[in-house]
Chains A and B, each alone.
Chain A
Amino acid sequence: QVQLVQSGAEVKKPGASVRVSCKASGYTFTNYYMHWVRQAPGQGLEWMGIINPSDGRTTYAQKFQARVTMTRDTSTSTVYLDLIYLRSEDTAVYYCASPIAAAGGGFDNWGQGTLVTVSS
Chain B
Amino acid sequence: DIQMTQSPSSLSAAVGDRVAITCRASQTISIYLNWYQQKPGKAPKLLIYAASNLQGGVPSRFSGSGSGTDFTLTISSLQPEDFATYYCQQSHSTPRTFGQGTKVEIK
A residues touching B (Cβ–Cβ < 8 Å)? 35, 37, 44-47, 50, 59, 61-62, 95, 97, 99, 101-108, 110-113
The interface on chain B, measured as residues whose beta carbon lies within 8 A of the other chain's beta carbons, has a size of 28
For B44, what are the chain A residues with a Cβ–Cβ distance below 8 Å?
Answer: 45, 95, 97, 107, 110
Total inter-chain residue pairs, C-beta < 8 Å:
78
The reply to whether B49 and A106 form a contact with Cβ atoms under 8 Å apart is yes
The reply to whether A45 and B43 form a contact with Cβ atoms under 8 Å apart is no
Beyond A105-B32, A106-B55, list 15 extra A-B contacts (CB 8 Å): A37-B98, A44-B98, A44-B101, A47-B94, A50-B94, A50-B96, A59-B94, A61-B94, A95-B43, A101-B56, A102-B49, A103-B49, A105-B96, A106-B49, A110-B44
Between A59, A103, A106, the greatest number of chain B beta carbons within 10 A of the residue's beta carbon is seen for A106
B residues touching A (Cβ–Cβ < 8 Å)? 1, 31-32, 34, 36, 38, 43-46, 48-51, 53, 55-56, 87, 89, 91, 94-101
* A61 in contact with B95 given A103-B49, A106-B55, A107-B34 (CB within 8 Å): yes
The complex places the Cα of A111 from the Cα of B3 at a distance, in Å, of 25
